[in-house]
Homo-oligomer: A and B are copies of this chain.
Amino acid sequence: MPITVLLVDDEPLVRAGLRAVLEAQADIEVVGEAADGAAVIPLIRQLRPHVVAMDVRMPLLDGIEATKAVLKTIADPPKILVVTTFENDEYVYQALRAGADGFLLKRARPAEIVHAVRLVAEGETLLFPAAVRSLAAEYGNRQAREALERAALTEREEAVLRLIARGLTNAEIAAELYVGLETVKSHVSAVLAKLGARDRTQAVITAYESGFVTPA
């Protein structure tokens, strides 16, 4: 009994890409597509998919409203996997708050995309800590992974590390997170201490080596 998936994205190219990646798996079947959130509800009623892969940014009805609508109107709703282009997308957080079960970056590698679909299908929530750790378990080397687990970064520190790993300066991180520069410096220092990194450069290396962030 395969995992059935409904794709919801306004870009046909992305739908085709997700379809190609997912259909390559024996246990996953793409049962339908929709170009915007407005078409989702009847399609779910008709197809009863296990998982809905839903873009956050769509015309007419975006992923957040669509997620709310689905959870409100569908009894025994499917798992909702939010798809996004940008890592630190405020819409993603809104969608997760609205009840989505996980999020997925468009630039993720095929193996990660498949992994994400399987996880949410099993009832796991693919949020930050769990998702990252399991991916780290799958891809990362042991020492780096253990270093991360020993570290147990706080939510805020994870956010800061992610921005460090995108090449931002402390000032830019402060602007991104709407906090002061001194606050960022505090978080950065905590991250470096927990990772055993001497500077932000080594922190980025650890982030990659542990699978906390992954190359495209």
Q: Which residues of A contact B (CB under 8 A)?
A: 10-21, 35, 59, 85, 106-110, 113, 139-141, 144, 164-167, 169, 197-202, 204-205, 208-209, 211, 214-216
Contacts and interface: CB of A to CB of B under 8 A. Distances in A.
A205 B211 CA distance: 13
A211 B208 CA distance: 12
Given A200-B201, A201-B164, A201-B204, A113 B13 contact: yes
A13 B12 contact: no
A167 B203 CA distance: 9
Contacts of A109: 12
A11 B216 contact: yes
A59 B144 CA distance: 24
Contacts of A208: 204, 208, 215
B14 A166 contact: no
B167 A198 contact: yes
A164 B197 CA distance: 14
Given A10-B216, A59-B216, A167-B202, 14 more contacts: A12-B216, A13-B17, A13-B110, A15-B17, A17-B17, A17-B20, A20-B20, A85-B85, A139-B215, A144-B216, A165-B205, A169-B199, A200-B201, A201-B204
